[in-house]
A = this chain, B = another copy of it.
């Protein structure tokens, strides 16, 4: 528990030791201990003054219905629905119908995206013997959906087309470190067929690094150690990957999300487009296979053994090189064209502040039937929409507008969501979009989890106190969640991670700067990800047929959105962005001093010495980064200001909310990050080397990695202004 006294005296000691006064937090709280369960004192000041707030929370939990979740699942997972296929058009039609039946205003939002499709592929052992390996998954008796004629072969969208044969090199997970290791081992990758396992990063980066190392082709496979029999029983007996399981998926690693030919602007029908030939997409053929097929290749390898950590779960000692005799062929043919796609946008207009809105979204396209990815999220969006529609019908229309979105062509590079965001950027999205909640493959198990922008965390944590956890009506999500680990700064809140890449929150958070969250639930005792086994049969056998997980995710969505939509005070905590930045800046600054890149102003280092403005930034960093009790101060500030403002007039609240939303965009700079200017968030970005991960303070990190003291100070000063803006109320 946090001690106020300590907080006060430590702050005082810190203040006395620094030469500049920095108005980051104002003064410190007066002595009340916080309860171990998170509270939101301003939760009472909602728009629905005539209703008990507990009554609303009760309805948000009661209305969602597992039978209806099941029905949405039946409707949407009936047929394979890859973007650009008739199956996906049918899904769009059904979504429009469903949302319209709830009385929502529904828009088919079109965009014209450049989309690839598979034509042909082969992987073959050419010598010492000739053996053709499977590039498609079988129809298995226990899962009739897997025999659907519209299912594809396994493929990696955006692969180069070509037909190559070569020696074999095993590259572990194909990460940048793995390719560095190969170089260190003196392994010649030039002209080789690289085989690498899925995992530890986005598949597109594996292709990028393989091509950069000179590989002629790349084979990706799922190793049994990572997702097969070494994890548990395999499908159809259990849920884990059988030897035939093939993960398909995109390889795009362009420095912008969305349509490949319209970077940073809406892919309308008639806009000017890039020439596809100029795009930095893979040139080499890349083909995914299953581990039975990979076994055939690996067991014919006769070269040197692998370094520590490279062994997988196939029954042989893995080797880095294939030896003199082994030759493998990879052939891939794909074609791409510009196609009209649609987002489905269903709107429930707010009663009091209709221009301000919250977006709840997820994609509708899949690789196959998509029962897990995306539909285990999509069905929760629908059921949340039904909850708020029903509340509106009962006279409890939300104060602010809620937009329910089903995005198109996510699987080819987050296209639908990005095009919508890019189109709305000039139409007040930044000023009026309070938050984005992403639900993609969310309901996959009994334990709730979330990643989000720091400024959204308190609202999510508070929502979790009113929702029962899956399968246990007597325990809240909050209790179950916080048991698994508390937040590093706020010790009565559950641990909520930072968002990475890989789903439709990317344009909202990393491009537009809208505070975002991704909701999910696990663990899942198996994997059907991006495989033809991602069917209702798999889902109901492995995740469950009771829809308890989807029910919980829907309720969490409801409770979170209700707080964002109904509280008179927009429940964002922009100062938490500042805290996150300060802590990371402190860490990076220590590293920079250690490496002699910058000096701390005491003259102890050879690094670039700070000037007055830099020193001011430096002190702010120390204020936040080194201070144990910073969480306590922030919490006090959040509550104190809300409570004080609760007593003022509506006009004051309007200004306060405008200010809050603006401050929650403090880390956005339209200049963008060097080398990938589409990314405009200086607090956090996706990790350019892994795709799925993230980097805090990317511009400062780049300066550190480059050993550039001048750039380090420049970025620290920029970030300090952002930190101050996030933490210093304008009203």
Instruction: Give A residues with C-beta under 8 Å from B.
Output: 224, 229-234, 238, 240, 305, 311, 313-317, 319
Q: Do B313 and A234 touch across chains, with their CB atoms under 8 A apart?
A: no
Q: Which of B233, B234, B317 contacts A233 (CB 8 A)?
A: B317
Q: Do A234 and B317 touch across chains, with their CB atoms under 8 A apart?
A: yes
Q: A316 contacts which chain B residues (CB < 8 A)?
A: 229
Q: A319 contacts which chain B residues (CB < 8 A)?
A: 233
**CA gap between A305 and B542 in the complex, in Å:** 14
Nearest residue (CB) in B for A312 is B230
Q: Do B315 and A314 touch across chains, with their CB atoms under 8 A apart?
A: yes
**CA gap between A313 and B224 in the complex, in Å:** 10
Q: A230 contacts which chain B residues (CB < 8 A)?
A: 311, 313, 317
Nearest Cβ distance between residue A306 and chain B, in whole angstroms?
8
8 example contacts (A-B, Cβ-Cβ < 8 A) are as follows: A224-B315, A231-B317, A232-B305, A232-B311, A233-B305, A238-B305, A238-B317, A314-B315
Q: A311 contacts which chain B residues (CB < 8 A)?
A: 230-232
Q: Do A229 and B305 touch across chains, with their CB atoms under 8 A apart?
A: no
Q: A234 contacts which chain B residues (CB < 8 A)?
A: 317
Nearest Cβ distance between residue A630 and chain B, in whole angstroms?
31
Q: Which of B229, B231, B238, B305 contacts A315 (CB 8 A)?
A: B229
**CA gap between A16 and B316 in the complex, in Å:** 64
Q: A238 contacts which chain B residues (CB < 8 A)?
A: 305, 317
Copies in the complex: 2
**CA gap between A313 and B312 in the complex, in Å:** 9
Q: Is the interface of A mostly helix, strand, loop or mixed?
A: loop
Q: Do B313 and A315 touch across chains, with their CB atoms under 8 A apart?
A: yes
Known: A230-B311, A315-B315. 6 other contacts (CB 8 A): A224-B315, A229-B316, A229-B317, A230-B313, A232-B311, A313-B313
Nearest residue (CB) in B for A234 is B317
Nearest Cβ distance between residue A316 and chain B, in whole angstroms?
5
Q: A314 contacts which chain B residues (CB < 8 A)?
A: 315
Q: Do B317 and A232 touch across chains, with their CB atoms under 8 A apart?
A: yes
Q: A224 contacts which chain B residues (CB < 8 A)?
A: 315
Nearest Cβ distance between residue A666 and chain B, in whole angstroms?
43
**CA gap between A305 and B233 in the complex, in Å:** 7
Nearest Cβ distance between residue A294 and chain B, in whole angstroms?
12
**CA gap between A370 and B613 in the complex, in Å:** 73
Closest 10 CB pairs of A and B: A229-B317, A315-B315, A233-B317, A233-B305, A230-B311, A229-B316, A232-B317, A232-B305, A234-B317, A229-B315
Nearest Cβ distance between residue A4 and chain B, in whole angstroms?
26
**CA gap between A233 and B314 in the complex, in Å:** 13
Q: A232 contacts which chain B residues (CB < 8 A)?
A: 305, 311, 317
**CA gap between A313 and B313 in the complex, in Å:** 6
Nearest Cβ distance between residue A366 and chain B, in whole angstroms?
27
Of A224, A229, A317, A319, chain B has the most CB atoms within 10 Å of the CB of: A317
**CA gap between A229 and B299 in the complex, in Å:** 12
**CA gap between A305 and B240 in the complex, in Å:** 12
**CA gap between A238 and B318 in the complex, in Å:** 12
**CA gap between A319 and B313 in the complex, in Å:** 16
Nearest residue (CB) in B for A306 is B232
Of A229, A238, A319, chain B has the most CB atoms within 10 Å of the CB of: A229
**CA gap between A79 and B68 in the complex, in Å:** 76
Nearest Cβ distance between residue A92 and chain B, in whole angstroms?
39
Nearest Cβ distance between residue A291 and chain B, in whole angstroms?
9
Nearest Cβ distance between residue A229 and chain B, in whole angstroms?
4
Nearest Cβ distance between residue A225 and chain B, in whole angstroms?
9
Nearest residue (CB) in B for A292 is B315
Nearest residue (CB) in B for A315 is B315
Nearest Cβ distance between residue A1 and chain B, in whole angstroms?
20
**CA gap between A232 and B232 in the complex, in Å:** 23
Nearest Cβ distance between residue A447 and chain B, in whole angstroms?
15
Q: A317 contacts which chain B residues (CB < 8 A)?
A: 229-234, 238, 240
**CA gap between A328 and B232 in the complex, in Å:** 24
**CA gap between A97 and B378 in the complex, in Å:** 84
Nearest Cβ distance between residue A198 and chain B, in whole angstroms?
18
**CA gap between A230 and B308 in the complex, in Å:** 10
Nearest Cβ distance between residue A148 and chain B, in whole angstroms?
27
Nearest residue (CB) in B for A224 is B315
Nearest residue (CB) in B for A228 is B317
**CA gap between A230 and B309 in the complex, in Å:** 10
Nearest Cβ distance between residue A236 and chain B, in whole angstroms?
13
Nearest Cβ distance between residue A587 and chain B, in whole angstroms?
27
Of A230, A232, A316, chain B has the most CB atoms within 10 Å of the CB of: A230
**CA gap between A316 and B314 in the complex, in Å:** 9
Nearest residue (CB) in B for A316 is B229
Of A238, A315, A316, chain B has the most CB atoms within 10 Å of the CB of: A315
Q: A231 contacts which chain B residues (CB < 8 A)?
A: 311, 317
**CA gap between A238 and B306 in the complex, in Å:** 12
**CA gap between A319 and B233 in the complex, in Å:** 9
Nearest residue (CB) in B for A302 is B237
Nearest Cβ distance between residue A231 and chain B, in whole angstroms?
7
**CA gap between A210 and B311 in the complex, in Å:** 32
**CA gap between A230 and B319 in the complex, in Å:** 11
**CA gap between A313 and B230 in the complex, in Å:** 7
**CA gap between A313 and B317 in the complex, in Å:** 11
Nearest Cβ distance between residue A97 and chain B, in whole angstroms?
42
**CA gap between A311 and B232 in the complex, in Å:** 8
**CA gap between A316 and B242 in the complex, in Å:** 10
Nearest residue (CB) in B for A240 is B317
**CA gap between A224 and B224 in the complex, in Å:** 14
**CA gap between A62 and B24 in the complex, in Å:** 70
Nearest Cβ distance between residue A594 and chain B, in whole angstroms?
20
Nearest Cβ distance between residue A238 and chain B, in whole angstroms?
7
**CA gap between A231 and B728 in the complex, in Å:** 56
Nearest residue (CB) in B for A319 is B233
Nearest Cβ distance between residue A308 and chain B, in whole angstroms?
9
**CA gap between A313 and B311 in the complex, in Å:** 11
**CA gap between A363 and B315 in the complex, in Å:** 36
**CA gap between A661 and B609 in the complex, in Å:** 61
Q: A305 contacts which chain B residues (CB < 8 A)?
A: 232-233, 238
Q: A229 contacts which chain B residues (CB < 8 A)?
A: 315-317
**CA gap between A681 and B319 in the complex, in Å:** 49
Nearest Cβ distance between residue A314 and chain B, in whole angstroms?
7
**CA gap between A394 and B232 in the complex, in Å:** 67
Nearest Cβ distance between residue A180 and chain B, in whole angstroms?
21
Nearest residue (CB) in B for A291 is B315
Nearest Cβ distance between residue A307 and chain B, in whole angstroms?
10
Nearest residue (CB) in B for A311 is B230
Nearest Cβ distance between residue A533 and chain B, in whole angstroms?
16
Nearest Cβ distance between residue A295 and chain B, in whole angstroms?
8
